[in-house]
Amino acid sequence: MKITIVGYKKEARLSQGVANDEDTELINFLKGKGLDVVPTIWNDENVNWSSFDVAIIKSPWDYHNHLEEFLDWLERVEDLGVKVLNPVEIITWNSDKHYLKDISEKGLPVIPAEYLDKDSSFDNHFFDLFKTDKLVVKPCVSAGAQNTITVSKDNFNERSTEIEQLLKEQDYMVQPFVEEIKNGEWSFLFFNGKYSHCSLKTPKEGDFRVQHYHGGSISYPAPEPLHVEQAGAYLKSLPQSTLYARVDGVLINNSFYLMELELIEPYLFLNEDHHLLENYYEALMELVS
């Protein structure tokens, strides 16, 4: 069985063929288990995808900037008889944040959202709709807080002009700003539906973005079993099993509310921990054996 770990082209690390150190540690661990594993770049025209039995979509971190091309590529790989993990159907659904509406309609707790179609207008009725003085506006196809904007009643006129311009490019979603994000965003990691570990990402003072490149910090507290169970409920709603899933959200009145269900290219916080890598390996074997 020949397996590829799929990443993206990043000039600084192109010679390695992988996107980040987590990919390297994962590849080395799986090789140590006797698996035939090689890194690839998803839009590398020189790759013979039919030579692989399994393609693990690990870190195509530029997919959101080339979505149509990326989804077409996924279908071509699947048509070659390659087992794609996570499944192509799941990735396609998860690539657009309208998926949060689907989850909400199943009765699971999700931060409320309304959607703005491309070329539509943004107005101030969302403040009343969500009973809030602050909104978050983000693209329906994005990653890493790209083009994510906070809007208050005080800066509405300034921000609305910016948002109107962005709406000429794609659909956007509007959500109430969740004050609990200041306490951190929880990320629960599951491999083949089984809980593995979690992290807590906390924004820097005065910011709301939890990503480390925006100044956020990461810790690894022990979660309450209740919150692990609540996070796992979102995966039970999916039509297919997933090799990996990162369930991101906040705690509101001690209950977990989903912000993002990451099923395409989440950082997994493996941190060279052999126990966590073993969890990943065991899930992979369950799905490909």
- The pLDDT of residue 14 is 43
Alpha-carbon distance of 176 to 130, in angstroms, equals: 6
State which H helix or E strand residue 258 sits in. Answer: strand 255-262
User: Would 71 be classed as within a structural domain?
Assistant: yes
**143 and 123 share a domain?**
yes
The total number of structural domains in the chain stands at: 3
Residues 248 and 187 in one domain: yes
Q: What is the DSSP string of 235-249?
A: HHTSSS--SEEEEEE
Whether pTM > 0.85 for this model: the answer is yes
We report the CATH number of the domain holding residue 139 as 3.30.1490
158 and 191 belong to one structural domain: no
CA distances from 114 to 37, 105, 172, 176, 209 (A): 42, 13, 9, 10, 20
- 12 shares its domain with 37: yes
d(CA 153, CA 125): 11
Q: What pLDDT, on the 0 to 100 scale, is given for residue 15?
A: 41
Query: Which tokens belong to 114?
Result: 């309304």
In a domain, 78, yes or no: yes
From first to last of the 289 residues of the chain, give the pLDDT tens digit.
999 999 998 754 444 444 458 999 999 999 999 999 999 999 999 999 999 999 999 999 999 999 999 999 999 999 999 999 999 999 999 999 999 999 999 999 999 999 999 999 999 999 999 999 999 999 999 877 778 999 999 999 999 999 999 999 999 999 999 999 888 999 999 999 999 999 999 876 766 655 665 567 899 999 999 999 999 999 999 999 999 999 999 999 999 999 999 999 999 999 999 999 999 999 999 999 8
Q: CA end-to-end span of the chain, whole Å?
A: 10
For residue 245, the domain's CATH number is: 3.30.470.20
Task: Name the one residue in this structure whose structure tokens are 């083949």.
Answer: 192
Q: Is 275 within the bounds of a domain?
A: no
Residue 119 lies in a domain: yes
- Same structural domain for residues 15 and 155? no
Last residue of a domain, one of 177, 196, 229: 177
Residues 257 and 195 reside in one and the same domain: yes
Beta bridge partners of 37: 3
104 and 188 assigned to the same domain: yes
Containing structural domain, residue 244: 99-108+180-267
Same domain, 144 and 235: no
Same domain, 71 and 213: no
Q: Which residue do the tokens 């077409």 mark? A: 72
CATH of the domain at 59: 3.40.50.20
